[in-house]
Structure 1
């Protein structure tokens, strides 16, 4: 396996193959990205794929490719899409802070003492960011587990495991708060106090306080989801017992289902109501069509035969001969590009622009408004106005 000799070489390879790396990262959960698909994205140049594999950017498993763990973890952390909760980072940074504090207090050189102080500051910054990211990931995992996990036992076990991680995160936050409050390292925070360190501690305290409140909400959410699972499981078990008794023809003898059904009066058990249609007397007295319908119904009841339904006319030729209407369309993108290539203001530019068809002043004014609403970021809007044909317009130039 080769290693990168410089950051320039690393960034150059990632930039050159960014299309392939982006697609594999987007499909990282499918675990089935084929080698042939990757070869197509690099224009069938196998040397490019071989370089990515040799430098451990990609890993090959038979005819499939996947991102190496260190690059995958790096991209997920930077883009904040990591779903794994790793609380060990907080613990590692706490240990690093304790070690660098010891080194700082034992060091006599001001230069090396400053380096230890700088490492303490960096670790404090990391703890705040990692704590917030873990709390967000915890919330996302709780919701995804309850809503998407189909297996009841697995769902319950995952929620309980997430609750354990929540407790661990809470404990590490308390340890961090105890550390920066000066209860353990009073000498260091008195000797090494500077403006930047105080600012970092202040920001970290606010971040830890936000994490505490969110962890309380996460705990409530886990308890609620576990209670729902317990209630759903009890309901399922009861339905299974009823189904078993029904199959054994013992439902009436071994349960009080008849008594329960008598005491219940849900709308589901009610028959569908049928409402008779009462015609208006005024309509019956003054409408000849209503009288004719009544006679047909009366004749059907006397003869016992159904009324023959009238058939619609099958000649649809008049509907097929529909006239088409042509609606003129303006290519706003093309008009915008032409305007940006010149230096005239937008309103006067549109008055002389050749659209390939005749447009009235009102229609050109409509195009003016459409261009401003869609492409205002490409224009330079001034504070001056002018009036033409009783229309006040803003002076707009290419950006």
Structure 2
């Protein structure tokens, strides 16, 4: 196997054949890419093509060439163009996390402990990206299997296998949650790293969204399998009718005559409404007066709407500083609250958590926010992030406000 000597060599090799590699990647699912076509894309420079084959960027198979698996995987990973569902990668990353955490707890040199924390953060981010990508591929594969697979037996087998992969992804999500919350508690109490805390909060939020997506995927699989079952029953009935028709036994061995005799339904098709113009003679009669008055009322109504439209802003108004007010990002505010509570809990597990309302009353926003607006934000956050919060039966008071005490789950 060819081994590149430097990153510069890889970049130069790929850049020299970027047109060919782009074309081959776009046609990667086509079984055959001719050697002569590759040569023409390199302007008949056979030495360059042989160099690509020698460096194993592409592989030759008789009169055909194809992208090497390493470069194909690399391009698909960066472009997120791979439809494969690979749960083994997440499993390997979770096992690797256990190893890194074990090394961290046994290490005594601070610089080396920091290197282990860095690798742990990178691995957590890999788990988040891989999980989201697997779920996207899972949903796409479910839809494609149902809509585009022509053979019923294969369609059912694909959906059943995808359901097994869904179960594996859910198992890995649960394993990751258990690792963070229970298994490696000693590590998270020692490694008080602010970036690691933020990564873990984002990871848990993404895992919760992923779990919801898996519920939807399960419902889609169940619905699709039920539809396939109904379609199979219908096809079997149609085949039986066709067989009896071919044998000229349909009327004798079925109740077709009775069904047709009592069936009186009609095929209804929508018709486009036709427009027509009223004649001058008709408009001159008293009978047309209500029609004319109705048209006049409609015109007056449209004219009133136009009169109420706001005019264009002047250039002075557009340049004025008071034309807008900075909006408050609820996601950022809630994330800061979760992060502050997580840091407090990891620093001292017995320390009490601060409730959401008290936190918002002293939270430093980017602009001046009144008590009334902070109270409104509290209600909005409780409503929008209900699944991530624990609403208790305890109540507190702040000035003239009485509020329920809310904490993170």
- Shorter chain as denominator, the TM-score bin is 0.5 to 0.7
The whole-number CA distance in structure 1 between the counterparts of 2:261 and 2:212 is 49
1:260 equivalent in structure 2: 259
State whether structure 2 residue 205 is matched by structure 1 residue 180: no
State whether structure 2 residue 156 is matched by structure 1 residue 193: no
2:205 equivalent in structure 1: 206
Higher relative contact order (CA 8 A, sep 6+): 2
1:62 equivalent in structure 2: 62
Where in structure 2 are the equivalents of 1:1-399 lying within 5 Å? Answer: 1-181=1-181, 183-268=182-267
The whole-number CA distance in structure 2 between the counterparts of 1:91 and 1:222 is 24
The whole-number CA distance in structure 2 between the counterparts of 1:111 and 1:56 is 39
Name stretches of at least 5 consecutive residues in structure 2 with no aligned partner: 269-280, 282-314, 317-409
1:377 equivalent in structure 2: none
Deviates more, 1:250-259 or 1:99-108: 250-259
TM-score, with structure 1 as normaliser: 0.66
What's the offset of the Cα at 1:268?
Answer: 4.4
Deviations 1:128-154 (A, max 9, x none): 000001111111111112111111111
The whole-number CA distance in structure 1 between the counterparts of 2:237 and 2:105 is 67
2:380 equivalent in structure 1: none
Deviations 1:282-316 (A, max 9, x none): 9xxxxxxxxxxxxxxxxxxxxxxxxxxxxxxxxxx
The whole-number CA distance in structure 1 between the counterparts of 2:261 and 2:78 is 62
**4+ aligned runs moved over 6 Å, structure 1:** none
What's the offset of the Cα at 1:39?
Answer: 0.6
Deviations 1:211-270 (A, max 9, x none): 11111111111111111111111000011111222233332333222332233221149x
What is the number of residues matched between the two proteins?
A: 274
* RMSD of Structure 2 on Structure 1 (CA): 2.2
TM-score, with structure 2 as normaliser: 0.64
Deviations 1:336-363 (A, max 9, x none): xxxxxxxxxxxxxxxxxxxxxxxxxxxx
What's the offset of the Cα at 1:208?
Answer: 0.7
Matched residue SS, 1:251 = coil
Deviations 1:111-169 (A, max 9, x none): 21111111111110000000001111111111112111111111111111111111111
What's the offset of the Cα at 1:3?
Answer: 1.5
